[in-house]
Structure 1
Amino acid sequence: MSDRTLRAGVIGGGTMGFGIAYVLASSGHATTVVETDAERRAGLLARLESRAQAGVDRGRLDPDAADALSGLVSIVGTVEELRSGLDVVIETVPERMDLKRPVLAAAAERKPALLASNTSSVSIDDLAAELPDPERFCGMHFFNPVWSIALVEIVRGKATGDDTIAAARAVATAIDKESIVVANVPGFATSRLDCISAFESMRMLEEGVADAEDIDRAAVLAYGHPIGPLRLSDVVGLDVRLDIARHLQSVYGERYAPPAILEQKVAAGELGRKSGQGFFEWKD
């Protein structure tokens, strides 16, 4: 797949679906986005074009690729409107089994060569349990913002075939991403690493080691992180962080116990960027 134009589907036009659709289309691949919300669907192409122009302005996207983007993207309202036999379909709906399972079942009926779920926490084996071809299914965990983070974490379920892993790695290469392959364990690899960093940063803030700005600045300047762990937590959503913490704690024990400050902020409705206040104030 990596040496030819892909025919791709992305299910969900939220933050992650938008980013995945953008990197596919800006890399020259024909991309259909499924978005059930009419208002979000109406503005999606304009947002993609705006993102492309921002890429051009920053010297990160060729102007010809930006000009071609709108002709490569189509937007539909249901999974049933996806073309049959696409090279890859990536599901990006919220991290809930009851939402993901029926969407994946509908996507499987479109017979894509590769079906993947963008998930950071949901079991690939549980998602695959009711699929007709589980050997053609895997996890493809992208990172926000998708256009900036070079990694895709590919998650191999018990039924995932070697050809599926190869196809997923080829898709990553086709959008200029590096990939790693991990086992289907709670938190995979990257979420476990990310949460340890985030939770320790929160505990440092609780203890008065430094303020939030300086803790994040240390991670960025000393270790080359593109964004500090506290600001990233705000972007992810502190309620999401708390849910993940509780899940990982139930599996791995107290090393993943949620910090008190995280529980307090969620209880107060300070959820990060989406609420306007988290560890930082957000005005956008």
Structure 2
Amino acid sequence: MEIIYNRPHNSELVLTIGSFDGIHLGHREIMKKTIQEAERYNSDSALLTFNPHPLEVVAPAVAPKSLTSYHQKLELIEKFGINRIIFKRFTEEFAQLPYQEFIKKYLVDRFSVNKIIVGADFRCGHQSKGTPEKIKELGNKYGFEVEIIPAIKIDDQDISSTYIRELIKEGAVSKVKRQLGRNFKIEAKVVSGDGRGRELGYPTANLKPVTDYVIPSAGVYACRIKVEDELYDGVVNLGYRPTFNKGEFSIEVNIFDFSDMIYEQTVELEFVERIRGELDFSTEEELIEYIEQDVQEAKEILSI
């Protein structure tokens, strides 16, 4: 897969455009159609996306938390088989550009676009006035086709990044899997902690996310963690550790059958199923009893 950072390219393209945060099942349907149409047109398939997310520029107070890091997004798109990914830096100046100028200046003048494929909720240009129908009108003018892909529904609910974020915030990670087509994962760096888990007999890796992810609600989850391309089972605690009067949010993973030193390494944490919410224990003995139960339940979940 070739990565293009906002420069002209002479290949003929069938192109899709959007933020593609999460690369959920709806995004995958759009990419699938883009690849199919590229083959029909004997063209390259391409995906144009923005960095940062447009709302981080035009309305930072309501900008969404991320579902994927830059690296994860690239990896997922490449695995799907898109030939080229085009990154456009989203700036305040770019946000003021009318959709007509965006299509002409950044697509028609820079690429040989045979067809554009977008979701029904796609919007572009200043004040989001560039609807799929209006892009179709420009296609008639400049000689490219436009196809609109309707939203995919699960249980009468449209698949969307917004809905997925709501599920994650609720801790409903098993429902998230149905929307993403995979478990929700975050990339994180292993940082030093206070060693409390080791003192309790359950050593943990303390994680700091590499980007501003939406994070599941406080509690305990069965998880998997990828360390240097090896996948391990584990149990992760998210929360403020009220038993020890800690005020900072932490992500602590007990990795089963693992004893390597991995400080400063970047790992990928995969949330499988929520076990329970966060609890405040009166004694360390009570906490240890619950940890033992959490570990056993996580092993049962992960063995299925």
Q: Which has the larger radius of gyration?
A: 2
TM-score by length of 2: 0.29
**Which is strand-richer, 1 or 2?**
2
Highest RCO, 1 vs 2 (Cα 8 Å, sep ≥ 6): 2
More helix by share: 1
